[in-house]
A and B are shown apart, each in its own frame.
Chain A
Amino acid sequence: MKRLFPILSIIAVAELAYALYLALVVAPTDALQGDVYRIIYYHVPSAWTAFLLFFINFVASVRYLVRSNASAEKAAKWVAIGIGVVGFIAPFLPLIRKLIPAGMQPSAVSTTIVLIPVLYFLVGKFFPGDKLDVLAVTSAEVGVVFCTIVLVTGPLWARPVWGIWWAPGDIRLTSTLVLWLIYVSYLVLRRFSNSAQTQMLAAALAVFGALDVPLVYLSIWFFRTQHPQPVIGGGGSMDPRMLQVLLFSWMAFLLFGFLVCWSRFRLELLKREVEQAHAMESLVGADASNTSLPLSRSAR
């Protein structure tokens, strides 16, 4: 395990360097936007990584909330299975197909929904007990970093292409900003609240915050927005060479994000270890002063 981290770090650096080369040199220039469109190779992978991390945060938070109640845990398990089964079949039914926005592939919808139970059981298996809360704070914090990049690179792309930094009232932009604010407030709550219920409150906030993720993702299908239509899964007409570079870039960012999450996870475990050691020390100190008090009285 100790060797795996440096090996993966080397692979991640090599992948990111190659992704940069592909993005700047190999990918063809866009006929309309010119070279500035190459921001897509950082903007879109960062957005997808942020969504994935917020989704992991949601799953970990749900599991954390239900874990103290056996019947709630059982119900959540069956809800996850139900979502997976219904979500796998429903997008292919003619009636539901009509509801899916034009251009969105039913197979893409089905695969995305099946990820919910898969992730639910994987998270439960690999992160038992309090590690669920550690995973939740890790994914939220790293997700906020990636979401910040989306909010910074977006206006830098919009300025030369749309002529404005920000389109006020645009639902994709606004919902992304709201998503970022929700997770920042989640982190602030965790950082500054000392209540015993902080973890529970944060988990509840995360569950509601995650509801914004589908809104952000689907907003460009359901509303008229300044933001362009999706490049994949939505019947977009992206050059296959551009698409390959985009997917490779996402793989590189995913591996990088995974390593950052790994470090943040270890940091949180270490932080809890230190807090526990401090608590033990103060308990021992309190015990010593309690026992020394009657002794000193008897000595008198």
Chain B
Amino acid sequence: MNAVKYLFAAYIATWVIHALYIGSLVRRFSRLRQQLKELGKRER
């Protein structure tokens, strides 16, 4: 029964790693879009 905590820890760790990575992708996307917007403004 005690071993089940390792099972849940593994499943939670998997989704935490995926969530962190997807979060980093979203952050990088929004930063690049912001930069692109600023470049567009400067061109005008």
Contact = CB atoms under 8 A, between A and B. Distances in A.
Mostly, the B contact residues are helix
Interface residues of B, number: 24
Contact of B32 (A145, A157, A256, A267): A267
B28 A36 contact: no
Residue in B7, B32, B33, B43 with the greatest tally of chain A CB atoms within 10 Å: B7
A34 B3 contact: yes
Contact of A42 (B2, B11, B28): B11
Question: What is the size category of the interface that chain A forms with chain B?
Answer: 20 to 34
Contacts of A35: 3-4, 7
Interface string A264-300: 1001001101100110010000000000000000000
A156 B21 contact: no
Interface of B: 2-4, 6-7, 9-11, 13-14, 17-18, 21-22, 25, 28-29, 32-33, 35-36, 39, 42-43
Interface of A: 20, 33-36, 38-39, 42-43, 46, 142, 145, 148-149, 152-153, 156-157, 159-161, 256, 260, 263-264, 267, 270-271, 273-274, 277-278, 281
